[in-house]
Amino acid sequence: MYCADVESWGRKVITKFKKNEILFYLSYIILYISLFIGDVYNIGSMDILARYLRIGSYILIFISCISMRLKKKDFFRMVTILMVTLLYGVKTGDLYWSVLILLIYNSKKVDIERVYKTSSRIIAIGIISVLALCMFGVLPDILTSRNTVEQINYNRHSFGFYHSNVLPLLIFYLEVYYICIVKEKIRDNVIVLFVLLAGATNTFCHSRNALILSLALSLFVVFAKQMKKDEHKILYRTTVLSIPCMSIFSFSMMFLLLKGGIWNTIDTFFSGRFRLAIFKMRRIGLHLINIMSNESFVKDNITYVDGKDISSIVLDNGYLYVILRYGILIILVYFLIAYCLAKKNKGNACVLGALIAVFIANFVDNDLVDYSFLPFILWAFNDVRVDSIIKNMGKKVDEIYKGNIEKI
Q: Which has the closest alpha carbon to 171: 141, 142, 210?
A: 210
Q: Which has the closest alpha carbon to 144: 153, 136, 135?
A: 153
Burial class of residue 129 (count of CB atoms within 10 Å of its CB; 0-12, 13-18, 19+): middle
Task: Estimate to the nearest angstrom the gap between the alpha carbon of 78 and the chain centroid.
Answer: 23
pTM of the model: 0.87
pLDDT per position in the chain (408 positions), as tens?
445 554 554 454 444 456 668 888 999 999 999 999 999 998 777 888 899 999 999 999 888 887 777 777 777 888 888 888 888 888 888 888 989 988 998 888 788 999 999 999 999 999 999 999 999 989 998 888 765 544 455 688 999 999 899 999 999 999 999 999 998 889 989 999 999 999 999 989 988 899 999 999 999 998 887 777 777 788 999 999 999 999 999 999 999 998 888 999 999 888 888 988 998 898 888 999 999 888 888 887 766 555 566 677 888 899 999 999 999 999 999 999 999 999 999 989 999 999 999 999 999 999 999 999 999 999 999 876 655 555 555 555 555 555 555 555
Find the distance separating the first CA and the last CA of the chain, reported in whole Å. 61
Distance CA 152, CA 39 (A): 24
